[in-house]
Structure 1
Amino acid sequence: MFLHKGSRRTFSHNIRLASTLSFVAGIVNIAGVLSVATLTTNVTGHFAFFAEEISLKNYTKALNIIVYIFFFLLGAFTCNLLVEIVSRKKPRMAHALPMFTEIVILTSVGFSTDFNPNYIAYALLFAMGLQNALVTNISQSVVRTTHLTGLFTDLGIELSQLFFYKKETEMKRLTRSIFLRISIILFFFIGGVLGGLLFKSFQLKILLFAVVILVVALFLDNAIIYYNLTKRKIKIMTSKSS
């Protein structure tokens, strides 16, 4: 799910990546909205809020919104910086450091009790900028876990293409792409609804649920890789002994 890139990635890899991280993004988004009334998984809405505050001459609030946008950008920048640095020595571990950083951030916010609301927003925006960049890097822009406007646009285009594409190869590619986009939208929605239902009881601790999902995903991904490597080594040793 995390380790395969380029031609080594399969449709199954992308589905698992999309469903897992869009579910996490849905939880983070509703946590930001309900705790500090801030969108934390994208920056599109913040530009509208910025324009509104400027028109109302609330320049301090407008500046803070710019800081929100900056932290999302900083998260994406940091993610790719970490990936590039680690991949030069240990390419198989390139995804681990950004994922670990996201886990630490969400855990810290989940256990926070008296943080400034702006700091919570900054942290969640940074984490989601980091996650978006990681998913984009791993899938080579095939998967995006929070950009629902673009997803719905692409989904509308591809649904219309069903009326015109008739070749088997074209239909297979198209239906897979549609299924991937629907999966992202659906799991983002489920994460948001579940997070919203649990927020009243757990407050920001709902982020710890997202953390558990990320940790399990990392563990299973590495366990599968370790299993396959071990199986391959055993096969090689068996063939040599025979």
Structure 2
Amino acid sequence: MRTDITGEGQAVAPQAVTPQGRLLGYCAALAFNAGWVNAVALMILAVPVGNLTGVTTQLGMDTANPWRYESHVLIAILAGFLVGAAVAGALLSSTRAPRGVRHAVVLTIQAVLLLLAAAGVEEGAVTTGIQALLAAAALGLQNGLTSSFRGMAVRTTHFTGTITDLGLMIGRSRKHGIDGWKAAILAVTLLLFLGGGVAGILAGARFGGYALLIPAAICLALGSAYLMQVTRGPRLIRPVQWR
């Protein structure tokens, strides 16, 4: 299989960092980012914005037993994540701009959404719902982005599938061996998500919703790196092969 998450048909100059290393670092940064956002959301909203399984369950429970949860927040999270993924799909499917530019645009929009969520730190039912919508849309964009990678959909906002893949890989290893590269992607994103959660909860305890400014800055940095690579010619992450 091949993974190519930037432009097509460009000449690639030799680089010190391997394509695998660049992809690994990129996915690790996004996983750390999502862990941070989810931790801050749990602190402020008492619900995650990147794992919709739990949110959907809570919404069902609230339907059966009203007032158990704040339904408007749960609905905002579901709607925001869906809209974010849809926007990512629309932008990434376009052929009007090089793939690297499209990725940079998605990351920039994600940063803006997180900045807006950080700005709405005042308490209130309406403000809380809007914060939930914006934060969930940001992670929906990110999940749509990493799910579009050619050859392997990388999850960076939730990890049920990641742990399932790791378990299957271990179970099949006796007959099929372990794909070290794929295992590294799965393990590193999981660990960095955990690390982001730790950092996010510490920052959230001190700065509240303003802690979302850090993941917004991470998205802007990654988007800027993409644009720089597009301007210079070589891809940020070149095609890579794995079993």
Which TM-score applies when normalising by structure 2? 0.80
Cα distance per residue 1:166-206 (max 9 Å; x no partner): 5xxxx4xx111111111010000000101111212111121
Instruction: For 2:6, give the aligned amino acid.
Output: L
Equivalent residue runs for 1:88-127 within 5 Å: 88-114=96-122, 116-127=127-138
**Structure 2 counterpart of 1:181:** 186
Contact 2:40 2:204 in 1 (8 A): yes
Taking the aligned partners of 2:151 and 2:210, their CA distance within structure 1 comes to: 32
Shift of 1:146: 1.6
Q: Map Cα deviations across residues 5-39 of structure 1 (whole Å, 9 max, x no partner).
A: 79x99433431221010010001101110011121
- The answer to whether the 8 Å contact 2:142/2:157 transfers is no
Aligned to 1:94, what secondary structure does the other structure show? helix
What letter matches 2:170 in structure 1?
Answer: L
Q: Would you say how many aligned residue pairs link Structure 1 and Structure 2?
A: 221
Residue type at the aligned position of 1:181: L
Question: What's the offset of the Cα at 1:84?
Answer: 2.7
Q: Percent identity?
A: 23
Does 1:192 pair with 2:201?
no
Which residue of structure 2 aligns with residue 223 of structure 1?
228
Q: Give the distance between the partners of 1:76 and 1:155, measured in 2 at CA.
A: 25
Q: Greater relative contact order (Cα 8 A, min sep 6): structure 1 or 2?
A: 2
Q: Which has the higher helix share?
A: 1
Q: State whether structure 2 residue 145 is matched by structure 1 residue 142.
A: no
| Aligned-residue offset at 1:75 | 0.8
1:52 partner SS: helix
CA–CA distance in structure 2, aligned partners of residues 103 and 62 of structure 1 = 26
User: Structure 1's 68 and 220: CA in aligned 2 closer, same or farther, altered over 3 A?
Assistant: closer
> What 5-or-longer segments of structure 2 have no aligned partner?
13-17, 235-243
Q: CA deviation at 1:4?
A: 5.0
1:205 to 190, 197, 210: 210
Moved more, 206-215 or 89-98: 89-98
Structure 1: any 5+ residue segments left out of the alignment?
230-242
Structure 2 counterpart of 1:49: 58
In structure 2, C-alpha distance between the alignment counterparts of 1:123 and 1:13, rounded to whole Å: 29
Per-residue CA deviations over 1:79-119 (Å, capped at 9, x if unaligned) read 1112234x324444111222111111111222333261111
Instruction: Output aligned runs, 1:62-77, within 5 Å.
Output: 62=71, 65-77=74-86
Please give the alpha-carbon distance, in whole angstroms, between the structure 2 residues aligned to 1:224 and 1:94: 13
Partner of 1:232: none
Q: Which is greater in Rg?
A: 1
Code of the aligned partner of 2:144: A
Question: Relative to structure 1, is the Cα distance of residues 58 and 110 closer, same or farther in structure 2, using a 3 angstrom cutoff?
Answer: closer
Do 2:7 and 2:99's aligned partners in 1 also have CA atoms closer than 8 Å? no
